[in-house]
Amino acid sequence: MDYRNLGASNVKASVITYGAWAIGGTMWGGSDEADAIKAIHASIDAGVTSIDTAPIYGYGKSEELVARAIAGKRDQVQIFTKFGLRWDDSEGEYFFELNEGGKTTKIYRNARKKSIIAECEQSLKRLKTDHIDLYQCHWRDHTTELSETMEALAQLLKEGKILAAGVSNFTAEEIETSNKIVPIASDQPPYSMVLRDIEKDVLPFCIKNNIGVIVYSPLQRGLLTGKFKPDHKFAEGDHRASQPHFQPAYIKRVNEFLQNLKPYADKHNATTGNLVLAWTIHQPGITAALVGARDAAQASENARAADIKLSAAELAEIGKLVESLSLTPSTT
């Protein structure tokens, strides 16, 4: 496993970071708590030291599960959590509505100072810790000035409640503005072989300004493992069912593309999913890949991606295959 600093901060991330969204259950058709805890243990055993979570993942459940899994091991891990998505309050910018188990929940983006300070206390309690290693603004709240959001982060840094400040889903301009107020250690954008928008501006900006980039959904929510058949039936409440990347024609196309990657995976005695993750962490400017895993088997497999060293020639050949794949599912 390799470990890299988040930008200019002293906080390190393992190149494969455990992503704790799915284990929260919401939007993923539920989750198994015992399996989730075993997944985190397997990750730590395999050298993964950083864990990414958020209050919104299962409305607190993901953070609580992380706390249970790392009990007695707090000094071995870095906790990355977030603020700014509220389900328990209607202040800020309306984001979207979740309908699950017959219940409707409205989600608001709220990055006001008062809300951030209160959310931080809640996260510290749920995580059973006195500090958060990386505290990230989950989504920009357009009803709040960025300066107010960054002031809250500056205060939490000063108080030692957080060790580094980060953002997520921000544009390059928003990162630039934020970074002028408080040092931004990292951005957390989506990035995978089939979703490479950040290569246009966010990634070049972060490289130029020494800001870490920890990317989410690098397996495109499981699609890039190649395990999905075009007629896959998702569990009730699994958001993937309605996503463009999981429509039958696109799944078929991606599976054909993954067949072309298989010889490279075979050469490294790896699964195709592992090769996809290895490619991701070899891309310039990518600090770490945040990878979700439901159970110990998935978690151990994903951690092995960190040991794959791809040569410049392999990267160039794989890069050509990636370029040949249509990036927009709607065009298939």
Please report, as ranges, the residues that interact with ligand NAP according to CB under 6 A.
19-22, 52, 138, 168-169, 188, 216-222, 225, 227, 273, 290-294, 298, 301-302
Element (H, E) at 316: helix 312-324
The minimum distance between CB 152 and ligand NAP, in angstroms, equals: 18
CA distance 41 to 267: 29
The minimum distance between CB 312 and ligand NAP, in angstroms, equals: 26
Q: What is the DSSP string of 193-211?
A: TTB-GGGTTHHHHHHHTT-
CA distance 298 to 174: 35
Picking from 155, 161, 140, the residue whose alpha carbon sits closest to that of residue 92 is 140
Q: Which residue is nearest to ligand NAP (CB)?
A: 19
Question: Which CB, 19 or 55, lies closer to ligand NAP?
Answer: 19
The minimum distance between CB 216 and ligand NAP, in angstroms, equals: 3
The minimum distance between CB 138 and ligand NAP, in angstroms, equals: 6
Both tokens assigned to 167: 């953002």
CA distance 244 to 326: 13
Question: Does residue 57 carry a catalytic annotation?
Answer: yes
DSSP-based three-state secondary structure for 19: strand
Element (H, E) at 267: helix 248-267
Own/partner pairs, 156-162, CB within 8 angstroms, 24+ separation: 156/116, 156/117, 156/120, 157/182, 160/131, 161/120, 161/124, 161/130, 161/131, 161/132, 162/120, 162/131, 162/132, 162/133, 162/134, 162/135
The minimum distance between CB 289 and ligand NAP, in angstroms, equals: 8
The minimum distance between CB 102 and ligand NAP, in angstroms, equals: 22
Question: Which CB, 179 or 225, lies closer to ligand NAP?
Answer: 225
The minimum distance between CB 285 and ligand NAP, in angstroms, equals: 17
CA distance 317 to 171: 30
Question: Which CB, 120 or 193, lies closer to ligand NAP?
Answer: 193
Question: Which CB, 241 or 317, lies closer to ligand NAP?
Answer: 241
Amino acid letter at 231? Answer: D
Cα 110 from chain centre: 20
Give CA angle at 265 (260, 267), nearest 5°: 110
Question: Which CB, 287 or 312, lies closer to ligand NAP?
Answer: 287
Question: Which CB, 216 or 250, lies closer to ligand NAP?
Answer: 216
Picking from 83, 18, 81, the residue whose alpha carbon sits closest to that of residue 51 is 18
CA distance 299 to 293: 5
DSSP symbol at 74: G
Question: Which CB, 219 or 322, lies closer to ligand NAP?
Answer: 219
Query: Do you know the residue count of the chain?
Result: 332
Catalytic-role residue among 57, 135, 191, 250: 57
Q: Please list the active-site residues.
A: 57
